Structure 1
């Protein structure tokens, strides 16, 4: 009986968690969409208010609106007029006290992580952490620069070591390039490995991943 219950739990648990997460996200988006509809009702003519109220009652419409808004925004900022408006908005937010510190920090991180030309999280590697002889998965985020690079006397790489099972928190380390071992697994496979606490291992015949400029060599030999 216990075996069958555990087997059934393993079958339904991933689906239940997926539905719960998606439902929570849609619920948050519906709440934001409802707030926008209420705000629009206060400024638009009274004849349009019943239509807005009917839109508010459609479940999941907020997801479609969000995707459409993202697509329209992406198309708009690809031309000169859109770039000018984006630069003006960035300048405005960068001059507002308190807001500028939050906005600038988030923008720098998002530009680094999601930019198509960026190199962050493009390669999974092995590093010795928290002590020599103990290994963990990390992600190359770049190379030290500026004053930090001048203070270091050897070729270093900057890596992010995620925590388990929550990879959104972790540690930034600057380690010698010779002490880092590059992995063939993709970043997605490495994240699954970290989140599952080593249970979901990627296949041994994982395809070779392309190394970013300044990345580590697969021939690197760890030094104790």
Structure 2
């Protein structure tokens, strides 16, 4: 086995084998290029593995800290000049939502909630924002929580060009009366920001249903098509 210079010892540690035959030995510059390429690949892989976990933990932790500090400042314990208790604000916020939910489910709470809705729905400007937010939360957390649970494909913006969307249900109301036949509401999010997009009213025969979950569809959209779900063989 030939004796290598000190600068090539890293190559051996990374798994590069040098052949005894001089004709098969890599030139020094090419060997160094492979070393740097391997290090760069490991570096990028480390970022790819670490960044999503670190950012997710950071965002969740920041939200918890914000809730804890915001709610904690309005608790009586702070008015008495004592030090804050970590986590007390989160516990208080969870308890508050549970208490409000319990109160809204009984008879008196339901009456008060209807009276509150009656007042807000008659205030200029406030009623527009309130009704929109109320419908969104009812759709995401209420009885309509099954909306946006099916991934579909529709032709947009022209025939022969397909986009990924989420089925939101049948078209109702004035839109249904104007179209005169059965149409479906399809939300087509933009890439890579799925919070905005287009609402497409499409007939059923022009909708292709896709055998994937909403999470898989969102991953494909957010990643700009880099992360695509594997095809599921028909049963």
Question: TM-score, normalized by length of structure 1?
Answer: 0.76
Query: What are the within-5 Å matches in structure 2 for residues 1-224 of structure 1?
Result: 1-37=39-75, 49-50=79-80, 53-54=82-83, 57-117=84-144, 119-205=146-232
Structure 2: any 5+ residue segments left out of the alignment? 1-38
Q: Residue 59 and residue 198 in structure 1: after superposition, are their counterparts in 2 closer, same or farther (change >3 A)?
A: farther
The 4+ residue runs of structure 1 with deviation greater than 4 A are none
Mark the CA change 1:98 to 1:154 in structure 2 (over 3 Å): closer, same or farther: closer
CA distance in 2: counterparts of 1:119 and 1:7, whole angstroms: 37
Instruction: Give the secondary-structure state (helix, strand or coil) at the position aligned to 2:167.
Output: strand
TM-score normalised to structure 2 length? 0.73
**8 Å contact 1:126–1:136 — kept in the other structure?**
yes
Q: Which has the larger radius of gyration?
A: 2
Q: Which runs of 5+ in 1 are unaligned?
A: 42-47, 209-224
Could you tell me whether the CA contact under 8 Å between 1:155 and 1:176 is conserved in 2?
A: yes
Aligned length: 197
Name which structure has the greater RCO, CA cutoff 8 Å, separation 6+. Answer: 1
Shift of 1:3: 1.3
1: distance between equivalents of 2:133 and 2:126?
11
Native 8 Å contact 2:192 2:222 kept in 1: yes
Q: Which moved more, 1:114-123 or 1:160-169?
A: 114-123
String of CA shifts for 1:171-216, please: whole Å, max 9, x gaps: 11101111001122122222222222222333433999xxxxxxxx
2:25 counterpart residue number: none
Distance 1:25 1:156 in 2: 40
